[in-house]
């Protein structure tokens, strides 16, 4: 995350003050290229015999993480195969980075949740946990089917987000809207997706991270 913010901050400063960009043989060197190289070095190093030690493995992980951040910052360029960094399509890079952070946070909080390890015995405490998890799976699945990726990933760790996502109107092009919405409700979803609170919040968040 730190590497992503540094890369995004430098790009915004370079655009504002007209700083030059790195190039090789007259070809602009996008930092996704540097990111791919760092990911390759970090990945190979982690599996090499010399990278088996604790410190070496940590350094390899740092290299891989920095490389991944640089690639995510220009994810839209890789996806569209053209320079869309400051265009509307370029916002996909910010979306990808935010989703990556959410997934990493889920990895950190989902290991052995509530200490449910070892033989499972049926008692009230475990029954409550099972019901909470089962209901959260349902609400989270509905949230994803409604096209709400941010809320869906957050709901995996924080159930109230699943309740909120399942209750709110679906995105107009989501599977949920195609399966269950009438044309009138799809039109309402279109309006909500462009002018609603969630749309305004997401737009401001992307602008805050990615720049105008």
d(CA 149, CA 146): 9
Query: Is position 123 within any domain?
Result: no
Burial class (CB in 10 A: 0-12, 13-18, 19+), 196: middle
Global pTM value: 0.61
Residue 151 tokens read as 């809320």
Query: Is position 31 within any domain?
Result: yes
Mark the ranges of the chain whose per-residue pLDDT is less than 50.
112, 114-117, 120, 122
Query: Is position 185 within any domain?
Result: no
Residue 55: predicted pLDDT: 83
Query: Is position 128 within any domain?
Result: no
Residue 210: predicted pLDDT: 61
Query: Is position 199 within any domain?
Result: no
Q: How many distinct structural domains can be found in the chain?
A: 1
Query: Is position 147 within any domain?
Result: no
d(CA 75, CA 25): 24
Residue 120: predicted pLDDT: 46
Domain residue limits at 34 = 1-17+27-109
Query: Is position 156 within any domain?
Result: no
Burial class (CB in 10 A: 0-12, 13-18, 19+), 69: buried
Query: Is position 118 within any domain?
Result: no
């Amino acid at each position: 995350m730190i590497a992503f913010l540094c890369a995004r901050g430098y790009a915004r400063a370079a655009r504002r003050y007209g700083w030059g960009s790195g190039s090789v043989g007259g070809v602009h060197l996008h930092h996704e290229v540097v990111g791919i190289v760092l990911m390759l070095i970090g990945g190979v190093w982690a599996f090499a015999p010399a990278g088996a030690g604790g410190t070496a493995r940590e350094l390899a992980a740092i290299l891989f993480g920095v490389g991944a951040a640089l690639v995510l910052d220009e994810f839209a360029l890789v996806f569209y195969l053209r320079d869309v960094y400051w265009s509307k399509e370029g916002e996909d890079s910010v979306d990808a980075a935010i989703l990556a952070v959410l997934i990493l946070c889920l990895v950190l909080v989902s290991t052995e949740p509530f200490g449910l390890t070892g033989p499972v015995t049926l008692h009230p405490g475990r029954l409550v946990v099972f019901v909470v998890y089962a209901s959260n799976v349902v609400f989270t699945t509905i949230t994803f089917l409604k096209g709400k990726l941010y809320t869906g990933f957050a709901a995996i760790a924080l159930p109230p987000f699943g309740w909120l996502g399942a209750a709110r109107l679906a995105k107009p092009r989501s599977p949920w809207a195609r399966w269950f919405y009438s044309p009138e409700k799809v039109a309402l979803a279109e309006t909500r997706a462009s002018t609603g609170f969630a749309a305004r919040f997401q737009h401001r968040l992307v602008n805050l991270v990615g720049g105008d």
